[in-house]
Chains A and B, each alone.
Chain A
Amino acid sequence: MSGALLVAVLRNPAEAADLVPAEWNALIAAARAERLIGTLAVLLQDIAVPTSISPILTDARGEAEREKRQALWEADRAAAAMASCGVPVILLKGTAYAAAGLRAGEGRFIGDLDILVPRDRLADVEAAILGAGWEWVKPDPYDDDYYRRWMHELPPMIHKERDRMIDIHHTVLPLTARQTPDAAAMIANAIAIGHGLHMLSAEDRICHAAAHLIADGDLAGGLRNLWDIHCLCGEAAAVDEGFFLSLFERAAAHGLTDPVWRALRLAHRLYATPVTAYRSPISVDYSLRGGDRFFIARLLARDGWGRESRKLLRFAFFVRSHWLRMPPMMLARHLWTKWRKGHRPA
C-alpha cells in the first residue's frame, strides 16, 4: 500500500535512501494523488535520491513556490478589496500558513483562498468582493439556496480575470453539523501577520483543521490535512510547553474535544507528532481508541498506482460525512436532488 509508504517517508525522510525503483514510482504517484508531492519534495531536499528522481522533486518544489506566490497575491487582492468595508482579512488553511511562514505551508498545495469573516458583516464583505472583480461560480438556485441555508461559507466565487476562487467562511462547520464551534471567539483571538492580513491563534488553527478533517470531511485528502495538524502542533509545542493544555481548553470551548483529540491520536500514530499526555488537570493519552483504525485504513487507502483502494470504506465515509453535517431527512433530500442531476458518489 503506497499510502503507508508515503506516511513512512514523511515521518522519516531518511528512509527514502533505501527505496527501489518500484517503490519510488508508487511513492511519487501516492504523493501526487494526496497533494503532498511538494511537501515530500521539501523534506527530501537534502536526501540523496536517484538521478531520475531529483528533477521530479525540483519541479514539485518550484510548483509549490509558485502556488505560494499566487496564494499570497490573492490574499493581497482580497485585502485591497476589503479595505473599504473595514473588515479584517482572516486567512484560513494553506494561505494562512504560507503568509505566516509556518512549517505547514512549506511545499503545500494551496488552491482556493479561504477567509473567515463575522457573520453580521457578511453582506458588506460580499458586496466588496463582488465589486472587485469576483463573481459567483454557479448560477444554480438550488445550490445557492443550499449554501446559504445550511453551509458555513458563501457559495464559491471566482475572479473573472485571475481565475482564482475565494471561499468566504462565516463559521467553522456547516450550520447543520453537530458541533458548533465559536467562530466569533476565533475572530476575536485572531492575530495580525502584517500587510493587513490575519490568521487564527495557534490553538484555533488546530481546532479549525481538526474540525474539517474529522467532523466535516469524507477524509479525501486527509493525509495532507493531518500533515498540517502535525506541523502546527510541532511548531506551537516547541515554543509553549503547556501548549496541549491550552489546545484542549480551546477545543472544549468550541465543542471540538473529540475531533481534536482524535486528530492528535491519528497524527501521533501516523506522523509521530510529539504530543504531551496529561494526568491532571485533565486526563489525556494518545493510544488509539475505537474507530481510529477505520480512520487510519481510510487515510492509507491508496495503491501502488496512486488509485484509491477500498471502495466500500470510501463510500461509508462519504455517507458519514454527509450524515455528520446534515440531519437524515435533509440528507435524503440533498442526495436526491444531486442524483437527479447525475452526480454519483463514485
Chain B
Amino acid sequence: MAESRYRAEQGADIIVQPLDDVTLIYHRRSGQTHIVVSPVPEILAALAEGEADVPAILTRLARDYDLDDPGEARAGIAAHLDELVSLGLVTRI
C-alpha cells in the first residue's frame, strides 16, 4: 500500500507561539487554539517544508533531532499526524 502523504495548513493560517512549558498554535481558519507539546511543533515545522509522507518527515526530523528508535518514532509520528488531521491542522492527500 502506498504511504499516505500529508500537507500542513499554510503558514499564513497558523500562528505558533512557544511559551516556557508548552507551545500554542492558533489556527485562523477554525479560530481554534491548540496547546501542544513536543514533538507536535517539530512535526508541523517539518511539514512546513512541503508535502511529505511519514518516511520523508522522519528524514527531515532526523536532520535536527536525535531519534533513538526509528520504528517507535515512525509509529509516534503516524499517530500524531492522525490527531492533526482530525483537528484540521494537517490534510491527508
Contacts and interface: CB of A to CB of B under 8 A. Distances in A.
A313 B28 CA distance: 45
Between B28, B30, B32, the greatest number of chain A beta carbons within 10 A of the residue's beta carbon is seen for B30
If over half of A's interface residues share one DSSP class (helix, strand or loop), that class is named, otherwise mixed; here it is helix
Interface in A65-83: 66, 69-70, 72-73, 76-77, 80
A148 B86 CA distance: 29
Nearest to A133: B86
Nearest to A70: B31
Given A66-B31, A162-B32, A73 B86 contact: no
Contacts of B88: 73, 76-77, 80
9 contacts: A69-B31, A70-B30, A70-B31, A73-B29, A73-B31, A77-B88, A80-B88, A133-B86, A162-B30
Interface of A: 66, 69-70, 72-73, 76-77, 80, 132-133, 162
B69 to A, nearest CB: 31
Interface residues of B, number: 8
Nearest to B87: A161
Which 5 residue pairs of A and B lie closest in terms of their CB atoms, listed nearest first? A73-B30, A73-B29, A70-B31, A69-B31, A77-B88
A76 B29 contact: yes
Given A72-B29, A73-B30, A76-B88, 8 more contacts: A69-B31, A70-B30, A70-B31, A73-B88, A76-B29, A80-B88, A132-B86, A133-B86
A295 B83 CA distance: 50
A261 B88 CA distance: 43
Nearest to B91: A80
Nearest to A66: B31
Interface string B4-44: 00000000000000000000000011111000000000000
A84 to B, nearest CB: 11
A133 B85 CA distance: 12
Nearest to A74: B30
Interface string B37-80: 00000000000000000000000000000000000000000000
A70 B28 CA distance: 10
A64 to B, nearest CB: 14
A248 B32 CA distance: 44
Nearest to A73: B30
Nearest to A77: B88
A341 B30 CA distance: 37
Contacts of B91: 80
Contacts of B28: 69
Nearest to B88: A77
